[in-house]
Amino acid sequence: MGARLPTGSPARRLLFSLLVMLAVPAWASQPRELDWPALIPEGAPVVAPQLAPLHDMSQLSDALSAESAPAARQQAPAAPVVNSLDGQQIKLPGYIVPLEVNEQGRTTEFLLVPYYGACIHVPPPPSNQIVHIVSEMGVRVEDLYQPYWIEGTMHVKLSSSELAEAGYQMEAEKIYAYELR
Protein backbone atom coordinates (compact mmCIF):
# COMPACT_ATOMS: atom_id res chain seq x y z
CA MET A 1 0.00 0.00 0.00
CA GLY A 2 1.07 3.57 -0.61
CA ALA A 3 2.00 5.98 2.15
CA ARG A 4 -0.78 8.17 3.52
CA LEU A 5 -0.29 11.74 4.58
CA PRO A 6 -1.38 12.41 8.14
CA THR A 7 -4.55 14.51 8.52
CA GLY A 8 -3.68 18.18 9.02
CA SER A 9 -0.07 17.74 7.91
CA PRO A 10 1.56 20.61 5.99
CA ALA A 11 2.09 18.31 2.98
CA ARG A 12 -1.60 17.36 2.92
CA ARG A 13 -2.66 21.03 3.18
CA LEU A 14 -0.25 21.91 0.37
CA LEU A 15 -1.64 19.10 -1.81
CA PHE A 16 -5.21 20.24 -1.10
CA SER A 17 -4.30 23.86 -1.94
CA LEU A 18 -2.73 22.81 -5.24
CA LEU A 19 -5.82 20.79 -6.18
CA VAL A 20 -8.09 23.77 -5.41
CA MET A 21 -5.89 26.12 -7.45
CA LEU A 22 -6.03 23.76 -10.43
CA ALA A 23 -9.80 23.29 -10.16
CA VAL A 24 -10.75 26.98 -9.82
CA PRO A 25 -9.63 28.08 -13.31
CA ALA A 26 -11.72 25.29 -14.89
CA TRP A 27 -14.74 26.33 -12.85
CA ALA A 28 -14.16 30.06 -13.38
CA SER A 29 -14.02 29.66 -17.17
CA GLN A 30 -17.57 28.28 -17.32
CA PRO A 31 -19.99 30.98 -18.50
CA ARG A 32 -23.00 31.85 -16.38
CA GLU A 33 -26.13 30.52 -18.09
CA LEU A 34 -28.84 33.19 -18.23
CA ASP A 35 -32.43 33.32 -19.34
CA TRP A 36 -34.11 36.44 -20.73
CA PRO A 37 -35.83 37.57 -17.50
CA ALA A 38 -32.33 37.84 -15.94
CA LEU A 39 -31.70 40.83 -18.26
CA ILE A 40 -34.51 42.84 -16.64
CA PRO A 41 -33.63 44.57 -13.35
CA GLU A 42 -35.62 43.58 -10.28
CA GLY A 43 -38.64 45.85 -9.92
CA ALA A 44 -38.48 47.12 -13.51
CA PRO A 45 -41.67 46.86 -15.54
CA VAL A 46 -41.92 43.78 -17.72
CA VAL A 47 -43.24 44.64 -21.17
CA ALA A 48 -45.27 41.81 -22.66
CA PRO A 49 -44.17 40.94 -26.21
CA GLN A 50 -46.40 42.16 -29.03
CA LEU A 51 -46.59 38.96 -31.03
CA ALA A 52 -49.27 40.08 -33.47
CA PRO A 53 -47.77 39.96 -36.98
CA LEU A 54 -47.08 43.25 -38.68
CA HIS A 55 -48.71 41.98 -41.88
CA ASP A 56 -51.99 40.32 -42.82
CA MET A 57 -50.66 37.46 -44.93
CA SER A 58 -54.07 37.02 -46.59
CA GLN A 59 -53.22 40.20 -48.45
CA LEU A 60 -49.90 39.04 -49.90
CA SER A 61 -49.35 42.01 -52.21
CA ASP A 62 -49.92 44.44 -49.32
CA ALA A 63 -47.52 42.40 -47.16
CA LEU A 64 -44.78 42.59 -49.79
CA SER A 65 -45.07 46.36 -50.06
CA ALA A 66 -45.13 46.62 -46.26
CA GLU A 67 -41.77 44.81 -46.07
CA SER A 68 -40.17 47.88 -47.59
CA ALA A 69 -41.93 50.16 -45.11
CA PRO A 70 -40.08 51.55 -42.05
CA ALA A 71 -39.49 49.11 -39.20
CA ALA A 72 -42.14 48.85 -36.48
CA ARG A 73 -41.71 51.03 -33.40
CA GLN A 74 -39.77 49.37 -30.61
CA GLN A 75 -41.77 48.72 -27.43
CA ALA A 76 -39.29 50.27 -24.97
CA PRO A 77 -36.08 51.56 -26.63
CA ALA A 78 -34.52 52.74 -23.36
CA ALA A 79 -35.55 49.95 -20.96
CA PRO A 80 -33.50 49.61 -17.75
CA VAL A 81 -30.64 47.10 -17.77
CA VAL A 82 -28.86 44.95 -15.16
CA ASN A 83 -25.54 46.77 -14.66
CA SER A 84 -24.02 43.90 -12.65
CA LEU A 85 -23.91 41.79 -15.86
CA ASP A 86 -21.21 44.05 -17.33
CA GLY A 87 -18.01 42.08 -17.92
CA GLN A 88 -19.50 38.69 -17.03
CA GLN A 89 -18.95 35.56 -19.10
CA ILE A 90 -22.45 34.46 -20.03
CA LYS A 91 -24.32 31.87 -22.08
CA LEU A 92 -27.70 32.96 -23.46
CA PRO A 93 -30.12 31.21 -25.84
CA GLY A 94 -32.06 33.14 -28.45
CA TYR A 95 -32.93 33.80 -32.07
CA ILE A 96 -30.66 35.52 -34.57
CA VAL A 97 -31.74 38.61 -36.48
CA PRO A 98 -28.93 39.13 -39.06
CA LEU A 99 -27.41 42.59 -39.52
CA GLU A 100 -24.18 41.75 -41.43
CA VAL A 101 -23.33 38.74 -43.59
CA ASN A 102 -19.78 38.19 -44.90
CA GLU A 103 -18.68 36.96 -48.36
CA GLN A 104 -18.79 33.35 -47.12
CA GLY A 105 -22.47 33.70 -46.18
CA ARG A 106 -21.77 33.76 -42.44
CA THR A 107 -23.66 36.18 -40.20
CA THR A 108 -21.01 38.20 -38.35
CA GLU A 109 -23.21 40.84 -36.71
CA PHE A 110 -26.71 40.25 -35.42
CA LEU A 111 -29.29 40.96 -32.77
CA LEU A 112 -30.05 38.14 -30.34
CA VAL A 113 -33.71 38.19 -29.31
CA PRO A 114 -35.86 35.99 -27.02
CA TYR A 115 -38.45 34.87 -29.58
CA TYR A 116 -38.69 34.17 -33.28
CA GLY A 117 -39.72 37.05 -35.52
CA ALA A 118 -38.73 39.86 -33.16
CA CYS A 119 -37.54 42.94 -35.09
CA ILE A 120 -38.68 41.44 -38.42
CA HIS A 121 -42.27 40.18 -38.28
CA VAL A 122 -43.35 41.65 -34.94
CA PRO A 123 -42.31 44.89 -33.19
CA PRO A 124 -38.90 44.76 -31.49
CA PRO A 125 -38.91 43.87 -27.79
CA PRO A 126 -37.63 46.30 -25.15
CA SER A 127 -33.93 47.17 -25.42
CA ASN A 128 -33.16 45.09 -22.30
CA GLN A 129 -34.39 42.05 -24.24
CA ILE A 130 -31.99 42.53 -27.18
CA VAL A 131 -28.25 41.78 -27.28
CA HIS A 132 -26.15 43.19 -30.14
CA ILE A 133 -23.67 40.44 -31.06
CA VAL A 134 -20.48 40.71 -33.09
CA SER A 135 -18.67 37.55 -34.12
CA GLU A 136 -15.38 37.35 -36.00
CA MET A 137 -16.06 33.74 -37.04
CA GLY A 138 -19.75 34.28 -37.74
CA VAL A 139 -22.42 31.64 -38.07
CA ARG A 140 -24.19 30.27 -41.12
CA VAL A 141 -27.88 30.84 -40.42
CA GLU A 142 -29.86 28.38 -42.52
CA ASP A 143 -33.17 28.80 -40.72
CA LEU A 144 -34.31 31.79 -38.67
CA TYR A 145 -36.55 29.43 -36.65
CA GLN A 146 -33.42 27.77 -35.20
CA PRO A 147 -32.47 29.08 -31.74
CA TYR A 148 -28.78 29.31 -30.80
CA TRP A 149 -26.65 29.44 -27.68
CA ILE A 150 -24.27 32.40 -27.63
CA GLU A 151 -21.32 32.50 -25.22
CA GLY A 152 -19.12 35.51 -24.56
CA THR A 153 -18.46 38.53 -22.38
CA MET A 154 -21.55 40.65 -21.78
CA HIS A 155 -21.28 44.44 -21.91
CA VAL A 156 -23.99 46.72 -20.62
CA LYS A 157 -23.87 49.29 -23.38
CA LEU A 158 -26.57 50.75 -25.61
CA SER A 159 -26.29 49.87 -29.28
CA SER A 160 -28.38 51.15 -32.14
CA SER A 161 -29.21 49.52 -35.48
CA GLU A 162 -31.76 50.21 -38.17
CA LEU A 163 -34.02 47.58 -36.57
CA ALA A 164 -33.86 48.36 -32.85
CA GLU A 165 -31.98 49.64 -29.82
CA ALA A 166 -30.13 46.97 -27.82
CA GLY A 167 -29.32 47.41 -24.13
CA TYR A 168 -26.48 44.90 -24.19
CA GLN A 169 -23.53 44.01 -26.41
CA MET A 170 -21.39 40.89 -26.66
CA GLU A 171 -18.52 39.58 -28.74
CA ALA A 172 -19.44 35.93 -29.36
CA GLU A 173 -16.77 33.41 -28.44
CA LYS A 174 -19.02 30.41 -29.16
CA ILE A 175 -22.19 30.05 -31.23
CA TYR A 176 -23.97 26.73 -31.50
CA ALA A 177 -27.47 25.38 -32.11
CA TYR A 178 -29.81 25.19 -29.15
CA GLU A 179 -30.99 21.61 -28.67
CA LEU A 180 -33.78 20.52 -26.34
CA ARG A 181 -32.40 18.33 -23.57
pLDDT, one tens digit for every residue, the chain (181 residues): 556 656 666 655 555 554 555 555 545 579 999 999 999 999 998 888 877 665 444 444 454 444 455 557 898 999 999 999 999 999 999 999 999 999 999 999 999 999 998 888 888 999 999 999 999 999 999 888 999 999 999 999 999 999 999 999 999 999 999 987 7
CB 106 within 8 A of CB 172: no
Domain total in the chain: 1
Report the alpha-carbon distance of residue 175 to residue 140 in Å, rounded.
10
CB 101 within 8 A of CB 78: no
Indicate whether 108 belongs to any domain: yes
Indicate whether 68 belongs to any domain: yes
Contacting residues for 40 by C-beta, under 8 A, at least 6 apart: 46, 79, 80, 82, 128, 129
- CATH code of the domain in which 168 resides: 2.40.50.870
Domain that holds residue 83: 31-40+52-177
User: Which is nearest to 94 in space by CA: 55, 48, 141, 59?
Assistant: 141
Indicate whether 4 belongs to any domain: no
